[in-house]
């Protein structure tokens, strides 16, 4: 059975349109509650980011879960990795996150964790989809689930984040600018870094329901770059709307992506004898990361795009470190999913231990020019299979020979076709990417 609703990261779409509407999400809550209540009285956690639609979707999911006979704990606005952590530590059966991550406010989605804080296995997602095909039936009144709030959720997560670095670790004397993307980290990230001793300047921490990710955060770091220079800060840290992606800005205002941060963490852990195997990237990871890790004799392998696939390969190899250029970074020895705050602290730990700047630590990695163009097309999956596009890609691959890579794939979270070209000459890479994007647009007509 193929998935009808679940994508690479839960269910996502435009608010008000199927499946991200009240009617479907009521049934979704009931289906999830029913699946997890089969082994007895289930306990399910619901958290969300700062989108205005979170109020609406939270209430209908709560109603559906209760109608299935499962109890609900409401967390409120919290980072996605915090929900994974709380699901595990509160011994819940499942965690639900209402978020569309880095997307604009008018999108939203539903993501799930199992009781161990991991993404749901395929078979559980398929079981939920099968349950959605059944008639919705409410349990008897004496069997309805109860709902309550977890008042100390933020404090629990803040203490967890601080516990991921060694006792005695201090950020005293470090000036950091945080960009919280007007998202779920707005009330927890500043406290984590302040309580560890940093002098913190905060931007993007005034959510109004519609400004999440709007010209800020990890997808739009320009404001952070300017603020780091204006404040003469040692660095800037940018999160996305739900707090599972992180990018950094050095003291010169230059952006450092997930590949570079993974390199810093990997090199530091290898030096400390704590790497535990190799590193998992994705097909989008810069070739420069692979070459730099090879020079350190650190094994590197690539997964499909999506943190669930990186996680699967890490588990398969029994490794702990992996991630994506977008800033999804997994440290599975510390937590079960990508966590932007935890990953940022691991980079800061490398800086403090080695008494070097972030710029000095990334010097060992030379990124190859890489250009990615997002092409809006009606059906990205079909366009990706186009004969005309395949022919154009084949010809350009011959031009690059073994000096570069081309990857064309449909986005798993947005109605976009992503065209990525990587090579040694930036002008050539840009020209090839532009030409392939044009062919993709024509193939979609």
Ranges of each domain in the chain: 11-152, 172-253, 257-361, 370-443
Q: How far is CA 441 from CA 43, 354, 373, 381, 382, in A?
A: 47, 48, 11, 13, 12
Give residue 8's pLDDT.
Answer: 78
Q: How far is CA 15 from the centre of its chain?
A: 20
Give residue 414's pLDDT.
Answer: 78
**One CATH from 2.20.25.90, 2.30.38.10, 3.40.50.150, 3.40.120.10 for 172-253:** 3.40.120.10
Q: How far is CA 1 from CA 4, 9, 123, 380, in A?
A: 9, 18, 10, 22
- Span 11-152: which CATH code? 3.40.120.10
Which letter does DSSP use for residue 121 in this model?
P
Q: 28 — phi, psi (to 5°)?
A: -65, -45
- Span 257-361: which CATH code? 3.40.120.10
Report long-range pairs for 135-138 (Cβ below 8 Å, ≥24 apart): 136/26, 136/27, 136/30, 136/64, 136/67, 138/67
d(Cα 334, Cα 90) in Å, to the nearest integer?
A: 17
Which residue ranges in the chain fall short of pLDDT 50? none
CB 354: neighbour CB atoms within 10 A?
A: 15
Degrees to nearest 5, angle at CA 296 with 292 and 297 = 110
Q: Where are the alpha helices (DSSP H) in 68-219?
A: 80-89, 122-132, 153-162, 189-195
Q: Which residue among 66, 73, 99, 101 is the active-site one?
A: 101
Is residue 42 within 8 Å of 32, Cβ to Cβ?
no
What is 370-443's CATH topology?
Answer: TATA-Binding Protein (3.30.310)
d(Cα 247, Cα 259) in Å, to the nearest integer?
A: 10
The DSSP string of 402-439 is GG-EEEEEE-SSSSEEEEEEE-S-HHHHHHHHHHHHHH
Give residue 1's pLDDT.
Answer: 56
53 is catalytic: no
Give residue 145's pLDDT.
Answer: 97
Give residue 306's pLDDT.
Answer: 87
Which letter does DSSP use for residue 368 in this model?
P
Q: How far is CA 127 from CA 4, 9, 70, 130, 401, in A?
A: 12, 16, 17, 5, 45
- Report the DSSP pairing between strands 279-282 and 321-323: parallel
- N residues, the chain: 445
Give residue 2's pLDDT.
Answer: 67
- Report the DSSP pairing between strands 107-114 and 11-14: antiparallel
Domains 11-152 and 257-361 share a fold: yes
Peptide bond between residue 312 and the one before it cis (omega within 30 degrees of 0):
no
Is residue 150 within 8 Å of 71, Cβ to Cβ?
no
- Can you give 34-70 as a three-state secondary structure string? HHHHHHCCCEEEEEECCCCHHHHHHHHHHHHHHHCCC
Is residue 241 within 8 Å of 99, Cβ to Cβ?
yes
Nearest CA to 329 out of 258, 234, 428 is that of 258
Residues paired with residue 7 on neighbouring β-strands, in sequence order: 10
Using DSSP's 3-state secondary structure scheme, residue 290 falls into helix
């Amino acid at each position: 059975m193929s998935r009808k609703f679940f994508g690479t990261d839960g269910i996502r779409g435009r608010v008000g349109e199927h499946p991200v509407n009240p009617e479907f999400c009521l049934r979704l809550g009931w289906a999830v509650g029913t699946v997890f209540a089969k082994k007895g009285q289930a306990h399910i956690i619901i958290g969300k980011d700062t989108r205005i639609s979170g109020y609406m979707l939270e209430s209908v999911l709560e109603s559906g879960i209760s109608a299935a006979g499962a109890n609900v704990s409401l967390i409120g606005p919290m980072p996605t990795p915090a929900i994974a952590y709380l699901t595990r530590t509160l011994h819940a059966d499942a965690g639900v996150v209402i978020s569309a991550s880095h997307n604009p406010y008018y999108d939203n989605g539903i993501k799930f964790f199992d009781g161990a804080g991991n993404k749901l296995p395929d078979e559980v997602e398929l079981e939920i989809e099968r349950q959605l095909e059944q008639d919705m039936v409410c349990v008897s009144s004496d069997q309805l689930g109860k709902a309550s709030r977890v008042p100390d959720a933020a404090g629990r997560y803040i203490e967890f984040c601080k516990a991921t670095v060694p006792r005695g670790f201090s950020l005293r004397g470090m000036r950091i600018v945080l960009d919280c993307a007007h998202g779920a980290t707005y009330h927890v990230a500043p406290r984590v870094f302040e309580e560890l001793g940093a002098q913190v300047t905060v931007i993007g921490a005034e959510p109004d329901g519609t400004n999440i990710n709007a010209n800020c955060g990890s997808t739009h770091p320009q404001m952070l770059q300017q603020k780091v220079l204006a404040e003469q800060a040692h660095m800037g840290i940018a999160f996305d709307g739900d707090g599972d992606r992180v990018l950094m800005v050095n003291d010169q205002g230059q952006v450092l992506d997930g590949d570079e941060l993974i390199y810093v963490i990997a090199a530091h852990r290898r030096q400390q004898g704590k790497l535990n195997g190799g590193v998992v990237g994705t097909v989008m990871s810069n070739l420069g990361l692979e070459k730099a890790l090879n020079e350190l004799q650190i094994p590197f392998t690539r997964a499909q795009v999506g943190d669930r696939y990186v996680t699967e390969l890490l588990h398969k190899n029994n490794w702990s470190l992996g991630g994506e250029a977008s800033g999804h970074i997994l440290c599975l020895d510390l937590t079960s999913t990508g966590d932007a705050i935890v990953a940022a602290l691991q980079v800061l730990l490398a800086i403090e231990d080695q008494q070097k700047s972030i710029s000095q630590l990334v010097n060992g990695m030379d990124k190859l020019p890489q250009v990615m163009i997002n092409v809006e097309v009606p059906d990205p999956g079909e366009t990706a299979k186009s004969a005309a596009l395949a022919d154009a890609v084949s010809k350009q691959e011959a031009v690059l020979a073994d000096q570069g890579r081309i990857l064309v794939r449909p986005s798993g979270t947005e109605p976009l076709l992503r065209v990525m070209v990587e090579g040694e000459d930036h002008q050539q890479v840009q020209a090839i990417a532009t030409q392939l994007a044009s062919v993709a647009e024509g193939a979609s007509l």
